[in-house]
Chain A
């Protein structure tokens, strides 16, 4: 259990956070300037003006009421800032060994877990963004931390790199069992990793709880729309190896065909993610299309999101709305209006299981 009741003076308004986090992965979400990074820094001990109480599994980091303020070096937190924060004068190996605690084994395991063997003699300058993040993660892990504080570890990475680093994070979660606070803007990442979400807005806690419970709340669905993701719970019905697909039943009974996912046995609970721009919209019934998943829906709202338009569509058997992102030109060409019936189509390959 991580106990936080803290006030951090910041320019403008102070950050106030009161939260009890389970000792697993907590996704810290919220818009820029909400105070996510400041919260991590306060936990790490890098905000000398923070007041209140922070305790992690019984170890008190801060209790200003009792005059307790543990120095950062005695808190044993593994902090990975957004830009990795590697020491430029040390090699990758030097960085990983920098704060190592618990002997050579620990360093070796961290290097192994994050696949750093080929990079060890290189300096940060010559590492790519994803490699830097992995070195920084290994450096944090090698200190045998009580808690990992990760500030958008995938934020600076493009989609391809993200998909290469994410499995390492899942491994850390499952094999090292270190509690994590994980700052992210991406609902898909939060769902893939976190069992708990702490949503900050305007330097206050706006909501907290299980990710899928929060998803239906307007608080988190705003975040979801910023990442323009459709996220649904479902369960695997079966696999069709010859057809290269698996069948999923979404909550509410909607059938969905996804790329073959033999790792999930029939009956397994899964979360599916569909990017809103991968949802095709048609004003008439769809025939002769390769897309496996076609649904009749009702347009409930048209919202301008940046240059595009996000359609909020209600499906008869879906508990939450589907989001589809189209161009204003498409809205005009199809004559899309609120209340109108539209057909949504999704290719199997646009569906990700997380």
Chain B
């Protein structure tokens, strides 16, 4: 069975992963929409930069974050001057998860937005909607499947985040230790049995998230057809 500190790790992981997913939703959907609609110079470069976390080793991304947030860097010292500590705190865990999950959300949502007939958006405009209202009343309702799938994918990716987290947040029990980090730690100290239990829990959580989404998507789709 789960010991108290293990249950804490599970809960903590769920919380930070959910928070990271929520945080990237607004900028992620905005970026997806911009990529779906924007055609022009620099398009390829922007897409590549946004996809970088997918192809770089997570530890490299973690290193970049660590450098940017260190007290020697402008952003880090600015934040420190305001008493905001990020590195080696739970905030760093959220940040690492957010950065690593971001491209997955964007890619999925972007494809969904591209499939929305842009003439329908234009029609919504002629029917009195401003750009924001047209997005929430037409684009999003027509693209919700892809957006939901991307959100769940991002959440699942956040649950399993390891490389960037360990670089920028460390592996501090009770403070920044997530499931993925705990598995690594248990293995390192020779407790493979506990590592296996935690690995099973991680798999179960990711499976539950994906499966719930699948079910929800099907039910909503059926309701829309009635």
Contact = CB atoms under 8 A, between A and B. Distances in A.
Contacts of A87: 120, 123-124, 138, 142
Nearest to A139: B127
Chain A interface category by residue count: 20 to 34
B125 interface: yes
Given A89-B141, A89-B142, A89-B224, A99 B129 contact: yes
B126 A46 contact: yes
Contacts of A123: 224-225
Contact of A46 (B125, B137, B225): B125
B130 interface: yes
Nearest to A99: B127
B123 A81 contact: yes
Interface in B174-209: none
Contacts of A89: 141-142, 224
B119 interface: yes
A143 interface: yes
Interface in B97-141: 119-120, 122-130, 133, 137-138, 141
Given A85-B119, A89-B224, A44 B141 contact: no
B126 A77 contact: yes
Interface string A229-259: 0000000000000000000000000000000
Contacts of A106: none
Nearest to B119: A85
Contacts of A71: 125, 130
A322 interface: no
Contacts of A143: 127-128
B122 A73 contact: no
B143 to A, nearest CB: 10
A88 B124 CA distance: 13
A78 B123 CA distance: 9
A85 B120 contact: yes
Given A85-B120, A87-B120, A45 B126 contact: yes
Nearest to A80: B123
A81 B118 CA distance: 13
The 3 closest A-B pairs by CB, nearest first: A99-B127, A72-B125, A99-B128
9 contacts: A73-B133, A76-B128, A78-B126, A87-B142, A89-B141, A98-B124, A98-B127, A123-B225, A143-B128
